[in-house]
Structure 1
Amino acid sequence: MACAPSIADHIIPAVSSAEDEEIVDLVVKGTIPSYALEEQVGDCKRAVRIRREALQRITRRSLQGLPLAGFGYGSILKQCCEMPVGYVQIPVGIAGPLLLDGFEYIVPTATTEGCIVASTNRGFKGIYASGGATSTILRDGMTRAPVVRFPSASRACHLKFFLDNPSNFQTLADEFNKGAMGMSMVSKGVENVLAYLQNEYSDMDIISISGNFCSDKKPAAINWIEGRGKLAVCDL
């Protein structure tokens, strides 16, 4: 069994300046946290390069085979994939056209598994030959159930009445929609709402962003009963 290559087995490009070299040294020593590099240097790609070099020195392993250039690291800042050190190339195939609701779609599919694109494409051909499919979204939603605490049950009830009041929905929705889409962004939206509510209810303690009632990434009867994400019905 071959061992992982040592950093000495490859020529690793040095960081671009004496200042970057100093920052790399501080990251290796733990003086600057790796997660704070983007804020520290003010340049996402530079932060990735510094983090990558620090990681190579800490682990004494090369990251030469992991691409660095050619990716917009600013697009993922505070959105997804914290502390990046590169990116992975995945082949993208196309399947289609898919005739759905009267429109033709070419569907890009990123995968490293053989036959996935081919079998999907065969299915699309069958749907097209049958005259196309129609779709209906019956439900579309995800949940995040935070836990808060009040000094009394009556104060907790007051918050419930506030949340149940339809006239307050748009205000809460505006706070929530400062986030984006996806489960992680749902959490960010919930944090925005909690921050707003805490301004209105100063005696409210935020215990947890998730109280497990939302049952994210785990089997739960509530998800089987209520559904989760998109519930779609398609027919030919």
Structure 2
Amino acid sequence: MNEPQAIAGVPLRWVGPLRIGGNVATAEVEVPLATYETPLWPSVGRGAKISMLVERGIVATLVDERMTRSVLVTAGDAQTAYLAALEVDARLDELREVVRACGRFTELIGFRHEVTGNLLFLRFEFSTGDASGHNMATLAADALLTRILETIPGISYGSISGNYCTDKKATAINGILGRGKNVVTEILVPREVVRDVLHTSARAIAELNVRKNLIGTLLAGGIRSANAHYANMLLGFYLATGQDAANIIEGSQGVTVAEDRDGDLYFSCTLPNLIVGTVGNGKGLDFVEENLRRLGCREAREPGENARRLAVVAAATVLCGELSLLAAQTNPGELMRAHVQLERKNATTKLGG
């Protein structure tokens, strides 16, 4: 493979610190964001400030984790395809051994199928340690497909990828069944902090969330998604930590919940498809290694723990930016004023003015 001729220089800044708790990590960390949208830094920074003003900070709960790959096989008719699916299900113990032979960190943890006409889609779910797992899942799926075609009659090769995974596409199945890390982040912001730092009220944010994120997205035809801009924070975080940036497509599918609790603000972001890893392709660059080290994701831990830590930090970063933006949008003109002030200032600085 040819070495890259150049490294794209996306501006990067560390933001925070932000406070995180939950079932994966308890920490106060700064986070790196690589972006051309420079107002993102102070916006996420405002959310991070709020997390430091709240005793528990952002509580991040990792609900599930799995990487998926679907394969496609064809049969003469639907009945043959269905019987083949039942046979695959009956042989899962055998197929788990096939996967274990592909690598010591790859494990088959689930299987689902769908028959459409004479087409059989087989969706395999894997645990992949500290890697995001794209290549590991494909390698395992290739081995599984080979074994299935050798031992189950009546079916033939269709494709190593059947788009039922689903990779880098906005689909319902990922939100329902999960692909990557499923993380729920929550924060309870006292009314005084909402008023003094966000310059708004819990009621205003809760109402806007329903009208904009829920109703607006419904009218637009969004797929299992109701949020303002998860993709902004995810892209900045992914570029800074060596992730496959195209995975923000499914990663940014998620739901924001906001409630007025007697003036205090309950705010939550659920991200069911966070695809991140701390080893593998993209992690060998010096700046990525340094960023992962500063995030505490280069420690000697059990397999998978560094990637889980990275996932909850990413999810907490998303909450910070989402909270700050929704607060700004409750106030007429605030969002545009911030963009004009910050982006023109940066442009003037670059021109030497």
TM-score bracket for this pair, using the shorter chain length: 0.5 to 0.7
Identity percentage of aligned residues: 28
Task: Give the alignment partner of residue 171 of structure 1, picking from 72, 80, 97.
Answer: 97
C-alpha RMSD of matched pairs (Å): 3.3
Task: Give the alignment partner of residue 34 of structure 2, picking from 96, 110, 116.
Answer: 110
Asked whether 1:96 is paired with 2:16, we answer: yes
Question: Shift of the alpha carbon at 1:135?
Answer: 1.3
- Summarize the Cα distance change of 1:88–1:189 in structure 2 as closer, same or farther, 3 Å threshold: farther
Contact 2:84 2:155 in 1 (8 A): no
Q: Deviation per CA, 1:127-165: give whole Å up to 9, x if none.
A: 111121211122333433211135685586255334345
Contact 1:142 1:183 in 2 (8 A): yes
Alignment of 1:45-194 (within 5 A): 48=2, 73=3, 84-101=4-21, 102-131=26-55, 132-150=57-75, 153=79, 157-158=83-84, 160-168=86-94, 170-174=96-100, 175=102, 177=106, 180-183=131-134, 185-194=136-145
Larger Rg: 1
TM superposition score normalised by structure 2 = 0.37
Q: Deviation per CA, 1:8-64: give whole Å up to 9, x if none.
A: xxxxxxxxxxxxxxxxxxxxxxxxxxxxxx4xxxxxxxxx3xxxxxxxxxxxxxxxx
- Summarize the Cα distance change of 1:204–1:154 in structure 2 as closer, same or farther, 3 Å threshold: closer
**Which protein is richer in strand relative to its size?**
2
Q: Secondary structure at the match of 1:149?
A: strand
Q: Secondary structure at the match of 1:93?
A: strand
Answer 1 or 2: higher relative contact order, Cα 8 Å, separation at least 6: 2
Which sits farther off after the overlay, 141-150 or 127-136? 141-150
Distance (Å, rounded) in 2 between the aligned partners of 1:181 and 1:105: 22
Q: Secondary structure at the match of 1:121?
A: helix
Residue segments in structure 1 that go unaligned for 5+ positions in a row: 1-37, 39-47, 49-72, 74-83
TM superposition score normalised by structure 1 = 0.52
